[in-house]
A and B are shown apart, each in its own frame.
Chain A
Amino acid sequence: SDEDDEREKRKAAARKGSKASRKKVSKEQSDDESEEDKGRGKKSGRAVSKKEKEDQNNDKKGNKKGKDEENKNKTTSSSFSSPPSPADSDEESLSEGEIAALKEQVEEKKKLIATLRNKPWRMKKRLLLLNDWTNREAQDFVEKFEGALGKGKGRRLYAFKVMMTKKLIKFNRDFENFKTACIPWERKIKEVESHFGSSVASYFLFLRWMYGLNLVLFGFMFGLVVLPEVLMGLPYGSIPRKTVPRDEQATAMDFSVLFDFGGYCKYSVLFYGFYNNDRSIGVLQFKLPLSYLLTSVGIFGYSLLVVIRTMARNANEGGDGGDEGEFIFSWKMFTSWDYLIGNPETADNKYASITTSFKESIVDEQENQKDENIHLRRFLRVFANFLILCSLGGSGYLIYFVVKRSQDFAKMDPKTLTWFENNEVEFVMSLLGLVCPPLFETIAELEDYHPRIALKWQLARIFALFLGNLYTFLFALFDEVNGKLEAEKSIKNATEWALHQYYANYSSFYNTTNVPPPNVAPADVIRGPCWETAVGREFVKLTVSDVQVTFLTILVGDFLRAFIVRFLNYCWCWDLEAGFPSYGEFDISGNVLGLVFNQGMIWMGAFYAPGLVGLNVLRLLTSMYYQSWAVMACNVPHERVFKASRSNNFYMGMLLLVLFLSLLPVVYSMMTLSPSFDCGPFSGQEKMYDVVIDTIQAMPAFIGNIFTYVSNPGLIMPAILLMVLAIYYLNTVSKAYQQANTDLKKKMQMARDDEKNRRNNQDSTNQVMKDLEDLLPNKSLAPTPVAEEKPLGTLNFLIVIDKTRTTRTKPGTAGKGVEVQKEESLSAPNPRRPVTRAPGPRGGPPGNMRSPQPEPGRGRGQIKYPRPA
């Protein structure tokens, strides 16, 4: 019965399911059990009935945590008596109750095997336990009876399932690896990130994203516009617009002309002028003009969609700036090394990356700890902004002035102007572009911002400067367009007059009314000035010159500089590497802005030059390789490496702004300017969008009706109103979510602080509670024993409470103790001793008083009076 009791106890303990209790129970009993186990059939065990087996398994449950001395002598090789084999009879004669009991057994056995894994024991211990005869039996038991209980048709199916699961896991892992390997340039960017920090890497990530966007745009333009014209349109030389005019043919193949995108380039698929205005072309009756218009609009639409989607996705990933979790440094220290690394290069990169990451967090921490005169800083910032606004205004006026002068110059004869006067505009623009950014940077040092924020200000300012560039460019362009339109009118009149004359002559000469069309070679026809192609050429030339300037700057400014510094250093008076000029740092703001504005140019020019997008794809591709090489070879990391803001939303925001800015000129020209009469897919129409209207009218009647209804102002106004309301509603909802977020964060922070304080066994940091405790009548009477020790007499109990307030709260948290801390310089610092014993009786030996902690009761908000000494 004793044994039964014990068994019951063990059963109960086991069924509780908690390892701890079982451990306790088994530990207490393990020594007792060892004797019993020996007797109970370790060595025997043949032909035991099921009941006995249950008994043994129950025993084993009880002592599975215990370490039997006897077991040590038994190894797998020895004393492994034959397992019991009642199996056959058992399988046939399983009744309901027995099945249930067996199931329970199997579960418990499985738990045993599982928990054995979780114990931090030496392998020897575990093996011993597992090799224990009864435990081994447990494994066999599980295997055998799991099949019998129908948990799968016997072991084979189960084993098959297990194998399939393993294969599936492996397949998933390989697929994930493959997907990651497919991402282009991932390793390159990671390398840059390890050495230069996440801010520089964010530029390359942005570049890669742009490349993806441009690839899609290229796909649209190429597949829907260029390819149909090339495959199904008329070939080169068949009609006037596709042929080089006679007087240009002599120079059409010259390299300088080609490089300027004249000659054969001008009359190719690259530009607007090449496309024919047949409503549908080829076997498939592809409607080219319609496709041209819709694709151009679609490019804007798609870009808008992608930019906004990326912004939304980034916004989800949390706010701006570094992460605000707890345990930042601890996690960096203990979880940043990836134990899977086996490649020395990767290891080097990882070391650099970890170092950079620590440096970034240190910068963040130092910024947090900065504690200075707020007024001085504010004044300096206002002053700096004022200076920068002045310089921006000055440059804006300068640009306006120069553009005005160039307009006057254009009226004069070009030969009378000097080179300087001819190229005044470009000269002034380049000068501004070179001088202003460093000027802004030096002024920005007055502001003393966190580097991440300083970068944003720099970006915004240079953006404003570049808008001036854009303004002049567009202005010049529009002047050119207007000039061409004027010229076109006269040529159009001239051509029509000539045609009229020809018909009149012909009919009067041959006296027929059936006049064949004039037989003029395409190259000799009088051509209009085709302003769209001219505009397209301007954009392409601008892009190409931009590319050249960027590449040259990197080559000279970075590579040559690094080369000189490295090799001239050996024979120079002062240390070139440490002093002037040293190695360059990667200019994030300049490069990002260059990328953004370049994309703006592409968006503007894609309508007039379909080949521009393809050019841009090539440019981005080469830029990626070239710049990543240049960064690794010629640049040094910034002095203060800082973490990029987690969302890339600032760059996206600028891109969105530029997208809208570039949409406006295109839409304006589409709507108001009339297309050239003899080139392009819209030639002969009043306005470019006439194609759409014609197509709608050509469609069945009811579609036309639908469009008429939809474009009714009475329908559009309510629709706009509805959208405005929807925007307002969503805005409110998102604000509410943000508020809820901050509230929850605050709650978490408070919970953490409370827990911390509770563990430290101190007062709650609740200021009000402390104040209330102050006001208690009895407190001033009870002589706190601490008073005897402290030199400051009357401030005793204040000190007792003050001391416990000096829990370190992070600056910037729910500001509980920040200001209070400053007032408590009087009190002695908190000794922060662990609470290893209960507070001793007051008035005891001085040894107790060294850790002057109030009774724990106070911390919970209960008010206990200190026991009288």
Chain B
Amino acid sequence: MDYTNEPDCKLPLALIVDMPELKENPFRNRIVESFSEDGMGNLSFNEFVDMFSVLSEMAPRELKAIYAFKIYDYNVDNYLCKEDLEKTLNKLTKEELTPEEVELVCEKAIEEADLDGDNKLSYTDFENMISRAPDFLSTFHIRI
């Protein structure tokens, strides 16, 4: 990977998620994928900078919300459906919860945040919910 001669190269996903800042993050794959143009996780330098700029503490709340939505949307259909939530929850708890508990939690989450009644969270629902969260800005933050 010769950066001086080919400044336009793309780093593969496996290399980026090995960074110390991302190594312990359960969502590291999704983070890198949502910032890559090809959706596969290969980042050029500009996209890399973009990623860390969004995750820095100077980025505005709306921008972070947009990207948070993209990160948690596993099947990339612009909605956080139940399967997305289940995957998120399993990643967060390392699958320690029983299936009934997972079911209950996802049900409750959708019930709380869903405003238009379609049993999945659109970006408006998500944004409405996350804008009221007190610690969203402080947790969705990587210092590099």
Contacts and interface: CB of A to CB of B under 8 A. Distances in A.
A359 B92 contact: no
A20 to B, nearest CB: 13
A124 interface: yes
Contact of B133 (A118, A331, A354): A331
A335 B133 contact: yes
A184 interface: no
Given A335-B133, A359-B101, A330 B112 contact: yes
B104 A122 contact: no
B95 to A, nearest CB: 10
A628 B25 CA distance: 28
Interface stretch (A271-279, A339-347, A553-561): A339-347
A327 B97 contact: no
B8 to A, nearest CB: 11
Contacts of A354: 92-93
Contacts of A863: none
Q: Which 5 A-B pairs have the closest CB atoms?
A: A123-B46, A832-B117, A347-B24, A123-B50, A329-B108
A378 B142 CA distance: 52
Contact of B112 (A328, A362, A760, A832): A328
A351 interface: yes
B132 to A, nearest CB: 7
A273 B12 CA distance: 79
Contacts of B27: 337
Contact of A333 (B24, B85, B96, B142): B85
A127 B109 contact: no
A808 B119 CA distance: 13
B135 interface: yes
B72 A334 contact: yes
Contacts of A328: 108, 112
A358 B23 CA distance: 24
A756 interface: yes
Contact of A358 (B53, B93, B141): B93
A774 B18 CA distance: 65
Contacts, number: 129
Nearest to A325: B132
A336 interface: yes
24 contacts: A117-B63, A122-B37, A326-B112, A326-B132, A328-B108, A329-B108, A330-B109, A330-B129, A331-B129, A331-B133, A333-B92, A333-B105, A335-B130, A335-B135, A335-B136, A335-B139, A337-B92, A339-B139, A355-B93, A355-B94, A358-B93, A365-B104, A760-B115, A760-B116
B20 A118 contact: no
B106 to A, nearest CB: 8
Nearest to B105: A329
B133 A334 contact: yes
B119 A358 contact: no
Contact of B24 (A326, A331, A343): A343
A396 B44 CA distance: 78
Contact of B140 (A335, A355, A759, A832): A335
Determine chain A's interface SS by DSSP, over half rule: helix
Interface in B87-129: 88-89, 92-94, 96-97, 101, 104-105, 108-109, 111-113, 115-119, 126, 129
Contacts of A127: 46
Interface residues of B, number: 55
Given A123-B46, A123-B49, A330-B109, A759 B93 contact: no
A62 B109 CA distance: 43
Contacts of B140: 335, 339
A120 interface: yes
Nearest to A345: B24
B130 A334 contact: yes
Interface in A556-594: none
B50 A122 contact: yes
A371 B121 CA distance: 29
A327 B127 CA distance: 12
- The CB with the most chain B CB atoms within 10 A, among A333, A344, A361, A832, is that of A333
Contacts of A358: 89, 93, 97, 101, 105
Contacts of B143: 340
A165 to B, nearest CB: 13
Given A365-B108, A760-B115, A327 B24 contact: no
Contacts of B53: 117
Contacts of A346: 24
A70 interface: no
Contacts of B40: none
B55 interface: yes
Contacts of A808: 111
A331 B136 CA distance: 8
B117 to A, nearest CB: 4
A339 B142 contact: yes
Contacts of A833: 117-118
